[in-house]
Structures are given as structure tokens and as C-alpha cells.
């Protein structure tokens, strides 16, 4: 199976420093000779308010529209969402920074993942 045919899943987590240290330790042990570690596809947030600040309902709707309709310009995306261009541009910039979307070509953006799985730890 080629990498383009593989499903790309991103795990979004709310977890603190102890969880991050546990993941680092597990990766260290894997890298020490027990086999190559799997690529980390994790987006972590320190707490739920931070997750909700970054993945607002409007941004989630933007992701869903972009995933369903494929790569497009920010202008086209704003029109399809019936939202102000500036606000969509701000959301796209943040989603690019988080790695939830990516640029394809000079002026197009697309969703970088086939699935996003969320896990909230107490």
C-alpha cells in the first residue's frame, strides 16, 4: 500500500505533562532497538479550554467542508462557508499552524488527515 493510499489519522488529546513524558519514554524504548517507532500523529493540548479555543465549532465546520469538497483557496472556502474572508483566513492560519490542514500548491489548502480521533484524559 502506498503512503497516499494509507489512512492518515490524527489523535487529538487533552493531557498533561506526565502523559507526554510517558509517550517520550515509550518512544525512547522503541528506538533503543526493539523496532522502529511508529510516526507520532498526535496533537496535544494541556487542558480542555485550550483545545476548545483552538478547535472552535467554526473551525471544525471549516475542516469538515474542506475535507468533503477537497482542496480550495481560502477565498472559495469563505464563500462556501458564507463567512467573512478575514475570519476564515485567521482560522486557516491557525489550523495550518496546528497541522490540521496543509497547503497544496500556491494558493490551495486541504485537510491533512482522513480522520481525527479525540481523547480527553482527566
Residue 2's pLDDT is what? 35
Name the H helices within the chain: 17-29, 48-54, 57-69, 74-81, 85-98
Is 80 exceeded by the pLDDT of residue 87?
yes
Residue 93: Cβ within 10 Å count: 12
Highest mean pLDDT among 21-30, 45-54, 95-104, 108-117: 95-104
Is 90 exceeded by the pLDDT of residue 17?
no
Give the three-state DSSP class for 1.
Answer: coil
Task: Provide the whole-model pTM.
Answer: 0.72
70/112: higher pLDDT: 70
Residue appearing with cell numbers 505533562: 17
Q: Give me 97's grid cell.
A: 499552524
Is 50 exceeded by the pLDDT of residue 36?
yes
Q: What top-level class would CATH report for the domain 9-120? A: mainly alpha
Beta-bridge mates of residue 12: 43, 118
Residue 75's pLDDT is what? 97
Q: What is the dihedral of CA 93, 42, 117, 106, to 10 degrees?
A: 30
How does pLDDT run across 24-35, given as a tens digit for each residue?
655 665 666 665
Residue 5's pLDDT is what? 40
119/99: higher pLDDT: 99
Amino acid at each position: 500500500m502506498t503512503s497516499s493510499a494509507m489512512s492518515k489519522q490524527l489523535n487529538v488529546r487533552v493531557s498533561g505533562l506526565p502523559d507526554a513524558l510517558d509517550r517520550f519514554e515509550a518512544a525512547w524504548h522503541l528506538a533503543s532497538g526493539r523496532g522502529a517507532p511508529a510516526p507520532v500523529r498526535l496533537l496535544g493540548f494541556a487542558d480542555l479550554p485550550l483545545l476548545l479555543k483552538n478547535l472552535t465549532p467554526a473551525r471544525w465546520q471549516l475542516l469538515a467542508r474542506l475535507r468533503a469538497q477537497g482542496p480550495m483557496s481560502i477565498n472559495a472556502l469563505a464563500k462556501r462557508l458564507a463567512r467573512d474572508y478575514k475570519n476564515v483566513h485567521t482560522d486557516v492560519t491557525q489550523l495550518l499552524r496546528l497541522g490540521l490542514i496543509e497547503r497544496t500548491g500556491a494558493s490551495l489548502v486541504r485537510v491533512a488527515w482522513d480522520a481525527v480521533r479525540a481523547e480527553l484524559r482527566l
